[in-house]
Structure formats: structure tokens, C-alpha cells
Amino acid sequence: MRLPPALLAALLLIPLVPQAVSAGPVAPPSPAVRDFGNGPERNEVAADVPERADALAATQSEQAERPGTLSHERGYPRRTRLPVPPENPADASIKLGLVPHHGIAPRLNDLQQRGDRVSAQVIGHSYGGRDLYLVTVTAPESAAETREQERIRERIENDPAAAARDRKLVKRYKAPVFVNANIHGNEWEGTDAALRVIEELATSKDPRIADLLARTRLYFNITANPDGRVNGVRQNGAGFDLNRDFVTASQPEVRAMRQIMIDAQPVTMIDLHGYVNGTLIEPTTPPHGANYEYDLFIQNTYANGLGMEAAVNGLGYTAEKDGVYPAQIPFRDSAEGWDDWPPIFTPQYAPFHGAVAAHTVEIPLRVNGSDYTQQPVEELRRRSAINTDVAAAAIRATYAFVRDRHDRLIADQIEVFRRGAAGEPSRTVPLGIVPGFGPEDVYTTTFPRAYVITGRRSQAAAARLVDHLIANDVRVERARHAFRADGRTYPAGSYVVDMRQPKRGLANVMLEAGADISPRVDAMYDISGWSHGLLWGAGVDGVTSLRVQADPVKTAAPTGSVPRTPGALALKVSDAKDVLALNDLLAQGTAVTWADGAAVVPASARAAARAVSERYGVVLTPAGTASGVPLSRVRIAAAASADELFTLRELGFAVTPVSTAVLNAGYDWSGTDVLFVSSGLSYTALNPAAKAALDAFLTTGGVITRGGTGATFNAAAGLLTATAVAGRGDANGVVRVLSTGGQVGGGSPDHSFVYSPRWFTGLGPEVTVEQSYAAEGPLVSGHWRPDADGTGGQDAARGQAAVVSGRDERGAAVVLFGTEPMFRNHPKGLFPQVARALYWASSVTGAAVKG
């Protein structure tokens, strides 16, 4: 089913829920709206995230220690006594008759003692500090047998050509299967289904189960999101949708899942969600991810999808009797709107680590949202029981699929890695490879010979990107000497990502610019463009030839430096690490001044400057002058989305969440330097006292806004003379921009990110254009079509102001963003833009000049 652009735009901005189910039949919802109803991904509601210590956000950053998962030195079973959390009667699972988080560890401890097939361990902790449990179910193995399995796994990845020739390898290898449950906290039943199936496998006397476990390892992530499970919300404790975070890995839960996929290297995985009736089972509609080996992927994924469909329908639930409609497979049953294009979802990330069948499974009967609060407990428990049955049936069908297709799945995983290591071109999938695979399903990409990563923009940014690639199991090397590629000379120490490597698909999907797919489809489920190469602040070039002496690296080289020459030091804010370093100095009370987008550190603070340079890897240079406006730590009141709050805190800013309700209740502005507005704050909805207090703040404080809420606030509060024009609501992706030498735009990358883009016209004389959309494009990769009336498209944005600044008549320094510089904590290279806006807005009003 094709969604009209206007409808899709509306879906992205308002809560739409799949059809609630009663005992009687109801019309099943369109599969194109998957789980829009469980929470918009970009909203106009202030994040409901409690205040946390600034240090906590920093510890949860991508720089966190690599989580450990699977030891290859011990055999199975591994009877680990899991610590049992205190009972929590407020756990949202209890109302549904499901297992609360505090009940999981006792269940797993018991199952480990009831046989020799189940091993459980804690693989990390959620943002809120709750244990994450991984369960491995397999036939007993000696330590030597476990080491042999790991040697085979390594051969499959590291020497796939030889593995393909070894006819005995497939027979000796236990095919890994990964079941991921409860990644959205208020989609509960996957956890209970996993526990049920684990118990069945642990206690079964069926010889077919014994044979299954002798030839497979089943890995169960029992609850990927315990914070959300306990609190009955979609997001984790930081307010993040974890199923949007896989190529960013900002959250600890996602880093733990990532490590499972690296260490286990599953041939098949399923991700258990809810709620769509009938049960939705991938594979998906176009557009299809162009960096997969899609011929292998679609054959296996469709085959398992059909098997899960049969198993779910075979439970015997009907629309007339139970309110349950037959399962549906988007690839077969829909035209577009439920795609596998972006690698941000679990099943779209897993193929890069060798999964040749990967699925989202949306179980049918809604128990969250208004149903959770309004339906009788008996009805909710009836629905949850059915949902658990459906999820368990999907798990059983999947392990049966792997049992029956064991040899082929392993061989296909080997072939994925072999093509990458051999550097073969992207294959065009033959039409009809599975029934219904047509020209609209064909997507390909072009792999460069290599990528070269340099610090020409920022050494710290290059190091961060390299470390991120390595954490994702992408191989990176460092050049011993200067070398030339495609007519350009690169210095010694440049990083090289040789694309002749097993996981070249993952390297490419992160580093390539991407593609503008606007002409090919009208409706997209989520974002359509991303690029670590263009948005993370490093210099990244794809090259067609490669002759270089280089050594593999396990971590990026140190990047910090302080000149030996005496005098004041300059810290240019061109990377997130620079922001962290500057905020650290300010928190220490260092007498820093601000001038032209850079911080000046006095010679007397050289020891402190050297310490932050070493800690954050930042480069300080001799300052041409010690003059500038005194700068103190910027204190922010933020009416913002969860990702923006997280990012601001991660950068080391002091942030207090606010909203219309908070201001109307009486807010003390004396501890605020800058107001950040993007969600949940309406100037016109303020009561007279709150409005007067805010107006008084605006005579001394600064304002930063983003998006529709920010633009409306600017107009209502009478700040800058600027008319905000909205692009199509679902438009998103990487755009070309032109930056001026202003306080905010100067030194910014040539690309930015947009989601529901905006631009500014009718600018007053007090307004400076900091950044504008390029006349060419401007979309580089993503999806941006006009609205039905022809407005709101890329053409209308060309050359228009995307970021503006100015001083209003009260003296407040104001910056308006029409772009998305902190979207989901992803575009790392854009974070300094926001920081420069905050420093400037704070310093020029005098609000932060307190010494």
C-alpha cells in the first residue's frame, strides 16, 4: 500500500496507533505504518527524561569500554549465578501477567540448574543501570570444542575463500541463531516468549531438539531494553529508541547487542516487536539496502518469513474468535513504506555481521499506549498471552528453519564474507530470484577500492571515526609513509579502510555519501540518508586505487598536542572533543575568553590546557591575541527532545529540562544563560507571570531554537525578523550547505543533516545568515519530495538560509536552526555548530560573564 506524502508527513508528526483489537474482528492496519503509533521519532513534546548528573551522560558516550559477551575459552554449560534485583511492584510488565525484570534472573538461575543446555550471563547494563542478560542454549561442549567452534567462526570471517573450499567445515560448525527481544520497552512479550522457548529447549526429550542443539547455538537477548520494560515506555532510560541507534551506538544497550552480533556471528536473527495485526514478518518492501549481498539475503529471509507465517497462522487464532488476523509479509503484500534501506534497525544491521536471514516480527494485539491504561486487566492479559504464543511460534519456526537449512545458511554466510574479501563488485539481484522480485527491488552500490581517513578537518574527529569503525569490526590500517591515491598525496599516519575485507558492506554503508532515493519511492518508514564520512567531522575520501604500506590498528593514535611556545593558547571549537575540553576548563574555573569561534586560554592555565589536551585528544595552538569576551560555563534551560538533551549533556554542558508546564509553575531564570527551544515549549501558552519572567530573561540571556517549535517560539516571542518555511514533513537526509564566516557557521562542514527541513526568508537587517542550503541539490542522500501542492521540496530550499543569527531589540543573542545538528546523537561533526551558538549567545549578552 502506498502512503500519500501528506499522510506520511502527518504520521511522522502525530501519534498514530495500529488498530486496537477486541475479541471481534477489526480491519487490519496498513503494514506501511509499522510502529509509528508507538511514538513519533521526531516530535514536538519535551523529552520526559529525568535530570541526570552531567558526568553520567559522558560515561554513556560512544567512548565507553567495549562490552564483553562471549568467552571462547570455556565450554558449555556455564552455570553463572545471576544477581537478583530487588522486587519492584511498579514494574509495568506485572499488569499484563508477564515476567517483571526482577523475575528474569531467578528464572534463568533455575533453568541453568535444570539441565546442561542453558548458560546465562550479564553482558552489560542499560542506561538506567539494569542488567542485560544473554542466554546461550546448545548441547554441552568441552573447552576444546568451544575453541574449535571459535576457530571455525574466525575462518569463516577471516579466510572465507578457504572456508568455502573446506567441505567438512559446514558439518562441524554449530550455526549461530540470535533472538532479540523487547528492544522497545513497551512491546513486552518477546521476552516471555524467549523464556518459554528456552525452557522448552532445556527440558525437551525430543530427539529432534537434541539434534538441533548439537548443530546450532541459540543466543537469546532476553530484554534489550529493561529500562523501557520496567517503565512501560518505548525508549530506554535516556529517552532513545534503541532500534534507531545501530550505526551510531550512542547507547550501552545497543553496544551490547552489537557485540553479540560480532562475537556470535549469527546466520539468522529475529527481532521481536509489536503491535501490528496481522502479525508482520519481514522481508520488506523497497527500497532495499544496497550494501547487503541481497541475492543471498532475500532468498533466506523470504524462506524463513514464509515458515514463520505458517507457524503463526497454524496457532489457530482467528479474527472472528480472537481478533487476530493472518500474518502478512510486506515484501509480498505491500508496495512500499516498510523498507530495509537504513542500517539503523537491528535486522538491517545484523546482515553486515553475516546474518543471511534477518527479520523484524511485529506481534498482533496492542497492549501498550491507551490500551494499557484503559483496557481491563483481563483483556490485556488475554492479548499478552496470544502475543506470547505468536512470538514463541516465530522463534520455533526460526530454529526449525536453521535446523533444516543449516548447511546452506553457513555456506551463504561464508559467501558474503568471501565477496567482500575478494573485492567483488556489487551484484545485481536477478529478477524473479524469489516470487515477486521485480525491477523495483533492485538496488546496487559501487564500492571504492578503499577509503582514506585524515585529520584535515579535525584530528580528534578522525580518531573517533576510526575507533568507531574498529568497534564495529571494520578493519582499519595506518599508513607508514606518505602515499598517493587518485592524484592526491596523503601524509604518513593517514588511516586506510581497505575495502577488500569481509565486512566491506558495513564499512561502505557508514562511509559512503549515500544516494538520493526520492525518485524511486514516495513513502519511507524512517530516515533515508546518513553518512559518517560526511557528517562525523573527519576527512574521508573514497579512492579507486591503493598502493600503500600500512599496518593494522586496534585503536586510533593519540591526537592531543600543546605548542611549546610560551603565551596564550587557542582552542578552536571544531569537534565535539574540543567542546568537552573547553567545558572541562570552564568547569575548573579557568579564565577563558571567547573570540571569533575559538576559546583563548591564558598562559597561566597551560597546565590545565595540557591536561585536557591529553584527556580529550584536542589540539591547542598559539593564540594571536589574549583578548576576547570572558566566558563561563554555559548553563542551559532546554525544552528539547531526548537526543538533544543527551547530546548537550554528553558535550559537558549544564542542562536543565524545561517545558511550558515547568515555566508556568514558576521557573527561576537566575541560573540560566541560554534557552534552547525545539520541543514542548509554547510562548503563547505561558501564563502572564511565566511570560513576564521569560521576557525579563531575554534582556540578559541568549536563545537557540531548532525546528517547527523553535521557529514558532521565535515568532511569538518577537526575537528575530525571519519567516520559517517548512519542507515536506518526512524529508530527511544529508544536504550540501554553504557556511559564512559568522560566529556559528564559520568552520562548519560542507554538509549537514535535515529532518522536516526548514529555511528562513524575509530576514530583517539584524539577521546574519550563518549557513544556507547549496544551490546544487541540495540533497546528497536521503528522501525529499515536494508536498502534494508542489511546495516544500528540494528546489524551494536551494540557496535559502538554513541557520541564522542575530540580536533582537532587547539585546538577546539568538540562533535559529532549520537543520538537525544533534539528530539522534548521530551527526558528530555538527555538534560544534551548536556549541559555538551556545558560547556566542551566552557571551555576547553578558549572561555568562561572571568570572
Could you please report the per-residue DSSP string of 480-506?
A: SS-EEETTEEE-TT-EEEES-STTHHH
| Closest by CA position to 298, among listed 177, 435, 404, 445 | 435
First to last CA, the chain: 61
Least confident among 18-27, 529-538, 575-584, 791-800: 18-27
Cα–Cα distance for residue pair 600/75, rounded to 1 Å: 57
Say what the pLDDT of residue 47 is: 65
- The pLDDT of 695-721, averaged and rounded, is 96
Question: Do 295 and 430 touch, CB atoms closer than 8 A?
Answer: yes
Sign of CA dihedral 496, 497, 501, 502: positive
From the CB of residue 656, how many other CB atoms can be counted at a distance below 10 Å? 15
Phi and psi of 508, rounded to 5°? -70, -40
Q: In the structure, what pLDDT confidence band is assigned to residue 80 with cuts at 50, 70 and 90?
A: very high
Residue count of the chain, please give it: 851
Angle at 718 between CA 713 and CA 721, to 5 degrees: 100
pLDDT digit string (tens) for 551-561?
999 999 999 99
Q: In the structure, what pLDDT confidence band is assigned to residue 843 with cuts at 50, 70 and 90?
A: confident
Cα–Cα distance for residue pair 705/712, rounded to 1 Å: 9
Say what the pLDDT of residue 423 is: 97
Res 40 pLDDT > 50 = no
Output the average pLDDT for the chain: 91
Res 16 pLDDT > 80 = no
- The pLDDT of 516-530, averaged and rounded, is 94
- The pLDDT of 108-130, averaged and rounded, is 97
Question: Do 126 and 225 touch, CB atoms closer than 8 A?
Answer: yes
Q: In the structure, what pLDDT confidence band is assigned to residue 10 with cuts at 50, 70 and 90?
A: very low
pTM for this prediction: 0.93
Angle at 841 between CA 839 and CA 847, to 5 degrees: 90
SS3 category, 476 = coil
491 preceded by a cis bond (ω within 30 of 0): no
What pairs with residue 176 in β-bridges? 217
Res 138 pLDDT > 50 = yes
Helices 459-471, 504-511: inter-axial angle, 10-degree rounding: 150
pLDDT digit string (tens) for 310-349?
999 999 999 999 999 999 999 999 999 899 999 999 999 9
Say what the pLDDT of residue 701 is: 93
| Closest by CA position to 218, among listed 181, 244, 249 | 181
Sign of CA dihedral 207, 213, 216, 220: positive
Question: Do 387 and 364 touch, CB atoms closer than 8 A?
Answer: yes
Percent pLDDT > 70 in the chain is 91
- The pLDDT of 733-746, averaged and rounded, is 90
- The pLDDT of 537-547, averaged and rounded, is 97
pLDDT digit string (tens) for 209-255?
999 999 999 999 999 999 999 999 999 999 999 999 999 999 999 99
Say what the pLDDT of residue 13 is: 30
Kindly compute the dihedral angle of the four CA atoms of residues 24, 27, 31, 32, in this order, to the nearest 10 degrees.
-140
Q: Please give the residue that has the higher pLDDT: either 277 or 624.
A: 277
Least confident among 404-413, 473-482, 627-636: 627-636
Q: What is the CA radius of gyration of the chain?
A: 27
Burial of 206 (C-beta count, 10 Å sphere; 0-12/13-18/19+): exposed
